[in-house]
Structure 1
Amino acid sequence: MTLTVPETTSETTHLLDPRFHATGGPHDVWRWMRDHDPVHWHEPGQYPGFWSLTRYDDVRAVSRDARVFSSARGILLRPVTHGADPGGGHTLALTDPPRHKALRSLVADWFTTRSVRALEGAMRETVRAVVARAVESGECDFVTDIAARLPLYVICRLMGVPASEQELLFSLASKAFAAGDPETRRSAHQQIMQYFTDLMYRRMVEPADDLVSALVTAEVDGELLSEEDVLLNCDNLLVGGTENVRLAVSSGMQAFLDHPDAWERLRANRELLPSAVEEVLRWTSSATHVMRTVTEPVVLHGRQIHEGERVAVWLPSANRDERVFENPDRFDIARRPNRHLALGAGEHFCLGGMLARTEMRVFFDELLDAVASVEQTGPAVPVESIVVSGLERLPVRLTAK
């Protein structure tokens, strides 16, 4: 497939370079694409050929149309050599209606407003303990030592992981999500899957009031979920329930460090916390892209997209679209309206969206209560990835009030 486009579009190839994302460079490319080539074709290479969508309205429309834009064949760009996503058709994220709706209904009760509010007290206790430990240590890594702990402890609690075993999962998750040796990450992920295999069998014998038990005992279309389905959904819940909040909170802290006036404004007026959380979500856009596979021919901005072709929507680009957001490159904690797409839209809107927002609101509220200052003590190290955006490390020193 050959398209005639301006020469500057050659820079779009950088969108598949993890190091380019770590520099913040994609925002300039996305801005150009929104104006000149909002539906751009990437030739096959390391990745299969696919279309890039960068405008808010297009990203939202694709996200809301699960019939034409399917999730079942994978939602992330994968190198050709990696083959198909093993979660396809099995997990919440990689299924289409009606199976997606059936799977979602199995666990939805744990993520309602009522359920999340019941967890808020435990969240505050966790944040206080984590921040107190960080203050005592003098200098720490904000990403691993602070931001990563709250979401992991919360999702472990929901999944029925005993408190005595949560630190083990925290250690394994830190290795599995970290940069560095691929073999170390792979080994840690295998150990996580083995842990949930053991927990799954325990819940088969003795069900409890938790997410793993819900997956083990529930039926879809009159049949119990397979063991593979249970394990893949456990993995999906762990990653979804921890990774995005960890990235958003740590990148949000970096944004506040870069904009100290916003931090002091929030300190002076806690009523801004809900809108501040929304702006952090928009600003950080921790999920970089989502892929869909087209199920029938469709035309977007005059471009013919054929059945079976892939479409990647770039969420950070949509959340900086000048057609929707006034002064999109300004970090404004009082921004209204702020209908960002950081948590998706449509059938696949983030199941844990309410939980993530509450965790972030509680986190920043408790941090403001506990510390007089947060001082960055070294350069932030960004994640090198085309899948997620955020920080690998953020060295800081917290000073208690």
Structure 2
Amino acid sequence: MTATAVSPEHLLTRIADPDLHAAGDPHALWRWMRKSAPVHRHEAGELPAFWSLTKYEDIRSVYRDPGGFSSARGVLLRPARLGDDPGGGLTLALCDPPRHKELRSLMADWFSTRAVRGLEDSLRTAARKAVEVALAEGHFDFVHLAGRFSHSVICGIIGIPERDHEDVYRWCEEAFSAHTSLAAHPQLMEYFMELLYDRMTEPADDLVSALVNGTVHGELLSEHEVLLNCENLIGATENGQLALIGGMLAFLQHPDQWHRLCQDRALLPGAVEEILRWTSSATHSMRTATRPHVIRGRRIEAGDRVVLWLPSANRDEDVFEDPYRFDIARRPNRHIALASGEHFCIGSTLARAEMKALFTELVDSAHVLEQAGPVTRVRSNAVSGPAALPVRLTPRTTAKRGTRANSASPAHDESQAKQGDGGLS
């Protein structure tokens, strides 16, 4: 160990520090914790006291016990001074059975396999449009390509007219950049309020109309509940777009895997699952124990907060062979990047379809995709992925000599991609 190196266990107090996740190596800490402190209590400070779980089986067990581990007090760490999440019990992510099941049923049809299949043509069209814009620009930030694509899809489902998609995207990006809730953005909430009233008077074939006119336990949702659920759905696109961006970065850093995909399109479904596992864009999810539990000999009391570190679960050596290897043909791949149990991501089928559509379009493009600058990461302990991924698209015939991914060894190409010189064709 060098004089400036820090052993992983000394980072325990920083496990929720956004700077560690943006510029440090949280995976080194989680790896140490899985071996030495898989169930660890962090004492109160700016954050309330909480337990960290880092092993796959423990995290999956908590997900599958909504009666023993509640979502209603919040699913993300919040400074102690802010108290519990004010949306507790009101949104799909922040409520428990049986209310959760009824609220989910109002939205489920819009995200079913059948509904997503009906969107396949529009997804390919949206992906093609996004790539065409990128081609015209030549040099662009992949973050904006993925963001606009992901937002256009969910906006269409919610019922936002295409003419307003760019405004909604901009408002969301402003909130994400400021690390504030979407509900705190006045223009976005004002827009949703107007949309809500429009659907009250003239229902349409969209998700807002379903929320406005649907009932839970025989009662209509309040305006506040509809607004919060719309915010929740739009906000969830951040995870989806970060998975898309992180997937692109993974291919740039592992060009051999990109060439496998280009040579065998049948690998695409597996590639999507490996991207989800590899990126694990939802960094943590929190639950509150409703009764005492003993996990690996540690006693968790009722009322204790329990934080589930998903990227750690998806690198668990007891579950995944060679977990730090990006392998689009990985079998089996039982990751829990999209949660598990009652709160399994309602948009999981849609997220997978978006990834298939966009990466298919990129594979089909007769251009070389190259990293064009340094990557910066999101400063957050809630989500993970690139905040900036500068890339350029060049015609395959005029790509710089030496940038073709198959012109060098995978190790050389990974190093070059990290420096902005790698290329995928």
- TM-score bucket of the superposed structures, by smaller chain: over 0.9
Q: Which residue in the other structure is 1:275 paired with?
A: 270
Q: Alpha-carbon deviations, 1:215-236, whole Å to 9, x = none? A: 0001111111011110000000
Q: What amino acid does structure 2 have at the position aligned with 1:372? A: H
**Aligned pairs (5 A) from 1:99-178:** 99-144=99-144, 146-178=145-177
> Structure 1 regions of 5+ residues with no counterpart?
1-6
> Structure 2 regions of 5+ residues with no counterpart?
1-6, 397-425
Per mean C-alpha deviation after superposition, the further-off stretch among 53-62 and 185-194 is 185-194
Q: Alpha-carbon deviations, 1:191-249, whole Å to 9, x = none? A: 21111111001101111111100000011111110111100000001111x11111001
Q: Which residue in the other structure is 1:303 paired with?
A: 298
Conserved 8 A contact 1:128-1:370: no
1:186–1:337: structure 2 CA closer, same or farther, 3 Å change rule? closer
Other structure's SS at 2:109 match? helix
Q: Alpha-carbon deviations, 1:368-398, whole Å to 9, x = none? A: 1114211111001100110000011100001
Q: Which residue in the other structure is 1:266 paired with?
A: 261
Q: Give the alignment partner of residue 363 of structure 1, picking from 346, 358, 362.
A: 358
Conserved 8 A contact 1:371-1:398: no
Q: Does 1:192 align with 2:152?
A: no
**Aligned pairs (5 A) from 1:24-35:** 24-35=24-35
Q: Which residue in the other structure is 1:393 paired with?
A: 388
**Aligned pairs (5 A) from 1:172-251:** 172-178=171-177, 181=178, 189-240=185-236, 242-251=237-246
Q: What amino acid does structure 2 have at the position aligned with 1:228? A: H
Conserved 8 A contact 1:139-1:395: yes
Q: Which residue in the other structure is 2:23 paired with?
A: 23
TM-score, normalised via structure 1 length: 0.95
Conserved 8 A contact 1:172-1:188: no
Give 1:9 shift.
Answer: 3.1
Give 1:124 shift.
Answer: 0.8
Distance 1:143 1:252 in 2: 11
Other structure's SS at 1:46 match? coil
Give 1:113 shift.
Answer: 0.7
Q: What amino acid does structure 2 have at the position aligned with 1:244? A: N
Give 1:83 shift.
Answer: 2.2
Aligned-residue identity in percent = 58
**Aligned pairs (5 A) from 1:339-354:** 339-354=334-349
Conserved 8 A contact 1:289-1:315: yes
Distance 1:116 1:308 in 2: 39
Conserved 8 A contact 2:199-2:212: yes
Q: Which residue in the other structure is 1:3 paired with?
A: none
Q: Alpha-carbon deviations, 1:107-164, whole Å to 9, x = none? A: 10011111001111111111111111111112100001x1111211111111111111
Distance 1:223 1:399 in 2: 56
Distance 2:170 2:184 in 1: 9
Conserved 8 A contact 1:53-1:311: yes
1:351–1:8: structure 2 CA closer, same or farther, 3 Å change rule? closer
Task: Count residues with an aligned counterpart.
Answer: 390
Q: What amino acid does structure 2 have at the position aligned with 1:177? A: F
Q: Which residue in the other structure is 1:41 paired with?
A: 41
Distance 1:187 1:354 in 2: 26
Q: Does 1:50 align with 2:50?
A: yes
Distance 2:179 2:128 in 1: 33
Q: What amino acid does structure 1 have at the position aligned with 2:38? A: P
The structure whose RCO (Cα within 8 Å, separation 6+) is larger is: 1
Conserved 8 A contact 2:183-2:228: no
Distance 1:40 1:314 in 2: 12
TM-score, normalised via structure 2 length: 0.89
Q: What amino acid does structure 1 have at the position aligned with 2:253? A: D
Conserved 8 A contact 2:21-2:384: yes
